Amino acid sequence: MLSARPLILMLSLFMLVAPPAGAATQYPPVDVDMTLRQVSDHVFYVQGKPGIATDNKGFISNAAAVITDEGVIAIDSLGSPSLAQRFIEEIRKQTDQPIKAVIVTHYHADHIYGLQAFKDLGAEVIAPGGFQDYLDSPNAEERLEERRLSLAPWVNDETRLIRPDRVIVEQTELTLGDVTLELRYLGPAHSDGDLAVLVRPDQVLVSGDLIFEGRIPFTGSADTARWLAALESLDNAGVTALIPGHGPAARNPAEAVGATLDYLRYTREQMAAAVEEMTPFAEAYDAVDWSRFEKVPAFAATHRRNAYGIYLSLEQELLAD
């Protein structure tokens, strides 16, 4: 049995090295160009660079912060705990108000791997229904294992997948200080479950990956028919600015929505015609005039894979009819 004196000494040493409750864990530092940009009175965001998931040390997506006089709500958490820590440091340059919550627009790796940095601070994690279709699938762990290699040391054995504390399955309002956030649940579209956030009174819409501004969208295994329907139903009347999941904030939200709509519609139309004619994908792809999109960033890295995924999904849609 330990005597009282050694025990007191051990407890004293523990108090010296253990972080206080709510303190941020230190993650491997990541050297990227990240600046918190102000969009409106309350809304700020950081903008990742165009590229594939492992470019720019994983900083390829956006995240936003809504700063009020009673606290902060983050929207999305970036692609590693280290990037999230940088994001938090940028927020701290603007305010020392506590970060109350982080809203996840959808469960894709480049938006959720930073969640644990916010959990370390005691923030509530809020996410759309459908998150479990990703988290409970083998793909979630497989992707994390891959990123532990391709994004080491910023994604590593200490990086963990975070489940939400609150799940949104219908339109919901959150109020903090003088700001109200309207959470618009859109169901499966770009991912297994998507939501957009309208910040009032600023009238800034944070769209997640429903909108890719200034670059080719990544469609992956998305349900592009539902994605199109979600965009067509997205009410942006009165919206003064739009923060997309990727690319710069847009001061003309209707134009930003229209650009993503145009890309999805055109690609689906061309691949649908090929599927109906039973034209092999490679032949069909080469026959299409893609020139209207060729100069858009990420075309070379993303577009052919998008078209192939849409072609396969349309084959499944045809078989299901």
- From CA 189, how far away is CA 210, in angstroms rounded? 8
Q: For the purposes of burial, counting CB atoms within 10 Å of the CB of 101, is it exposed (0-12), middle (13-18) or buried (19 or more)? A: buried
* pLDDT exceeds 70 at position 15: no
Confidence of residue 4 (pLDDT cuts 50, 70, 90): very low
Other Cβ atoms closer than 10 A to 166: 12
- Enumerate the β-bridge partners of residue 64: 45, 75
H helices of 130-252, where?
131-135, 138-150, 224-233
* Closest listed residue to residue 78, CA positions, set 37, 108, 38: 108
pLDDT digits (tens, 9 = 90+) for 267-315: 999 999 999 999 999 999 999 999 999 999 889 989 999 999 999 999 9
How confident is the model over 108-154, as pLDDT tens digits?
A: 999 999 999 999 999 999 999 999 999 999 999 999 999 999 999 99
Phi-psi domain of 16 (left: phi exceeds 0; alpha: psi -120 through 50; beta: other): alpha
Phi then psi for residue 44, to 5 deg, are: -130, 160
pLDDT band per the 50, 70, 90 thresholds, residue 234: confident
Instruction: Taking residues 195-207, report their average pLDDT.
Output: 97
Q: How confident is the model at residue 214 (pLDDT cuts 50, 70, 90)?
A: confident
Mean pLDDT of 7-28: 50
Question: What are φ and ψ of residue 117, in 5° steps?
Answer: -65, -35
Mean pLDDT of 168-176: 97
Cβ–Cβ < 8 Å for 276, 78? no
- Tens-digit pLDDT profile for residues 237-263: 889 999 999 999 999 999 999 999 999
Res 17: pLDDT: 39
Average pLDDT over residues 86-112: 98
| Separation of alpha carbons 189 and 217, rounded Å | 13
Residue in 273, 272, 253 with CA at minimum distance from that of residue 261 = 253
- pLDDT tier, 2 (very low <50, low <70, confident <90, very high otherwise): very low
pLDDT for 233: 85
Amino acid at 165: D
Domains, the chain, with CATH or none: 22-252 (3.60.15.10)
